[in-house]
A = this chain, B = another copy of it.
Amino acid sequence: MSKQILVLPGDGIGPEIMAEAVKVLNLANDKYALGFELSFDDLGGAAIDRYGVPLADETLARARAADAILLGAVGGPKWDAIDPAIRPERGLLKIRSQLGLFGNLRPALLYPQLAEASSLKPEIVAGLDILIVRELTGGIYFGQPRESKVLENGERMAYDTLPYSESEIRRIAKVGFDMARVRGKKLCSVDKANVLASSQLWRAVVEEVAKDYPDVELSHMYVDNAAMQLVRAPKQFDVMVTDNMFGDILSDEASMLTGSIGMLPSASLDASNKGMYEPCHGSAPDIAGKGIANPLATILSVSMMLRYSFGQVAAADAIEKAVSLVLDQGLRTGDIWSEGKTKVGTAAMGDAVVEAL
Contacts and interface: CB of A to CB of B under 8 A. Distances in A.
B250 A197 contact: no
Interface string A172-207: 000000000000000000001011111011000100
A160 B227 contact: no
A256 interface: yes
Oligomeric state, in copies: 2
Contact of A163 (B158, B165, B232): B158
A118 to B, nearest CB: 8
B160 A159 contact: no
A164 interface: yes
Interface stretch (A60-68, A143-151, A266-274): A143-151
Interface stretch (A119-127, A314-322, A337-345): A119-127
Interface in A130-166: 140-141, 143, 146-148, 151, 155-166
A301 interface: no
A41 interface: no
Interface residues of A, number: 60
Contacts of A227: 227, 249-250, 252-253, 256
Contacts of A352: none
A321 B262 CA distance: 44
A69 to B, nearest CB: 21
Contacts of A224: 248-249, 251-252
A167 B155 CA distance: 7
A77 interface: no
A158 B249 contact: no
A163 B167 contact: no
B197 A147 contact: yes
A240 interface: no
8 contacts: A84-B200, A119-B124, A140-B162, A151-B165, A156-B205, A158-B163, A227-B256, A228-B261
Please name the 9 residue pairs, one residue from A and one from B, whose CB atoms are nearest each other, closest first. A159-B163, A158-B201, A227-B253, A157-B165, A224-B252, A228-B256, A231-B256, A158-B197, A228-B252
